[in-house]
Amino acid sequence: MRAIILNLSAWAVLPFMDTIAKYLSTELSFFQITWARYFFTVFWTLPFMFIFFRKKLTWSENPRLQILRGITLLLANFCFFYSISIISMAKALTLAFIAPLVTTALSPILLDEKVGIRRWIAVIIGFLGSLVVIRPGFIEFNLATLAALGTGFLYGIYLIITRKLHTTDNPLLTLLLTGIVGVTISSFFVPIFWTNPTNIQWLWLSLMGVFACLGHILLIYSLKYADASKLAPFGYFEIIMNIILGYFVFKDFPDMWTFLGLFIIISSGIYIFRRQNKF
């Protein structure tokens, strides 16, 4: 029960980061917002870990894989923050939920895992769910929608890399290195898009890092009490907070087709998780 509470708390916290990012996107570049997300995550995470978990921060056994993981998540964040600057958070997150389907589809190639016919059918149905949300030919298919799908694809690869690192590196070290890789690479590009934030904007950017740090630490703690495969379906709780915040802050509310597509994607994802737990 403790694992579920911690996990749900994490998914309740992280949408606040997305809300701040969307709010600031009207005045700041999504490149700058992404950089701030990483900078302040490292800013808050680093002292916390050195105070409470210093002895566990041994060097990585797979530094190249850690760098690749950090780059993949950075690109996913670029895509997601761009998408929510144009379309609603609920629609962007719904399309990003194809990540577990991507992981399943790529696991035979990258993880040498066997995927049966039933899970392949679930993957196909899940992708059809994304088409229900997009409705190509009926509504405008723009770059933001494509970026949201790109987020899901990149995050699916990120989950595969995380699986590979799970058996060798400490999760706290992985969290810290992912942040360091993100802030280092984004620092090379952010001067091109830099706009001097106001004091209030700096405060919002800092809070975005707080929510990111808190959310990921809660996720790590939840994994101490239960396996990732058992907690994975609870990740869909994020969409509930996402919809609530999107409605109250931006007056965005998903239409019937988005809800239908979301239901199809989530159902496919949960079915895949249940099938994986049987093997």
- Give the Cα separation of 78 and 55 in Å (integer): 33
Which tokens go with 255? Answer: 């239409």
Q: Sorting pLDDT into bands at 50, 70 and 90, what band is 276?
A: low
Question: How many C-beta atoms lie closer than 10 Å to residue 62's C-beta?
Answer: 16
Distances (CA, A) of 129 to 98, 110, 204, 226, 260: 9, 25, 34, 29, 8
The whole-number pLDDT of residue 20 equals 96
Instruction: Please give the distance of CA 93 from its chain centroid, rounded to a whole number.
Output: 9
Range of lowest pLDDT (104-118, 237-251, 254-268)? 104-118
- Give the Cα separation of 246 and 7 in Å (integer): 21
pLDDT tens readout for residues 76-128: 999 999 999 999 998 999 999 888 888 888 878 776 777 778 878 888 888 88
Partner residues linked to 139 by β-bridges:
136
User: Comparing 169 with 136, which gets the higher pLDDT?
Assistant: 169
- Give the Cα separation of 22 and 92 in Å (integer): 11
pLDDT over 70 at 212, yes or no: yes
- Residue of 262, 87, 61 lying closest to 168 (CA atoms): 61
Could you give the angle at which helices 238-250 and 89-96 cross, rounded to 10 degrees?
160
User: Comparing 133 with 24, which gets the higher pLDDT?
Assistant: 24
pLDDT over 60 at 137, yes or no: no
- Residue of 124, 121, 32, 138 lying closest to 85 (CA atoms): 32
The whole-number pLDDT of residue 110 equals 75
Range of lowest pLDDT (26-30, 67-71, 143-147, 173-177)? 173-177
The whole-number pLDDT of residue 82 equals 95
Q: Sorting pLDDT into bands at 50, 70 and 90, what band is 146?
A: very high
pLDDT over 80 at 72, yes or no: yes
Range of lowest pLDDT (40-44, 105-109, 139-143, 233-237)? 139-143
Using only the alpha carbons of the chain, give its radius of gyration. Answer: 18
pLDDT over 80 at 180, yes or no: yes
Q: Look-up: residue for tokens 């809660």? A: 218
pLDDT over 80 at 136, yes or no: no
Distances (CA, A) of 104 to 69, 107, 160: 18, 5, 9
